[in-house]
Every structure is written in structure tokens, then in C-alpha cells.
Amino acid sequence: MSETADAPGFDRRMLDGLICPQTHRTLEYDAARQELVSRSAGLAFPIRNGIPVMLIDEARKLDEDVTAG
């Protein structure tokens, strides 16, 4: 399923209530990649049709140079 121009966007206010399911720390929103990033866990959780998918199995692992900075 691909993101279309008509698909709903992510509501940034959701960041106030979402935490990383692995580390229980805050997340950063990456608008360009449509992901919620947990630098402490080294994971990026996808946002599909405006809905964050907060499953560790669905998360992308961050490159080491991204997590170090």
C-alpha cells in the first residue's frame, strides 16, 4: 500500500502521547521519511496513512552514524 496525495498526514500532536515501545523514551518525527525515530533504540517506526506503526518487528534499524550523532 503506497502513500498518496489524498492520504491523511501524521498529526504531530500525537508525539506527546507516543513513546518508543522498546526504551520507553520520546520519539522524533522525520517528515521526509514518514517515520517516528527512536535514537535510543536505533529504530525508525513507519507511519502509514497517517497512523504510526509502533511494532518493533515493523521498525527499520538506523545506521550507526545516525544513532551516534
Amino acid 65: pLDDT: 52
Burial 21-37 (b: 16+ CB within 10 A, else e): eeeeeebebeeeebbbb
H helix and E strand count, the chain: 1, 5
Amino acid 63: pLDDT: 87
Q: How far apart are CA 37 and CA 44, in angstroms?
A: 4
Amino acid 14: pLDDT: 86
**Which of 36, 28, 31 lies closest to 53, judged by CA?**
36
Amino acid 9: pLDDT: 82
- pTM as predicted: 0.79
Q: Which residues of the chain, if any, have pLDDT below 50? A: 1-6, 67
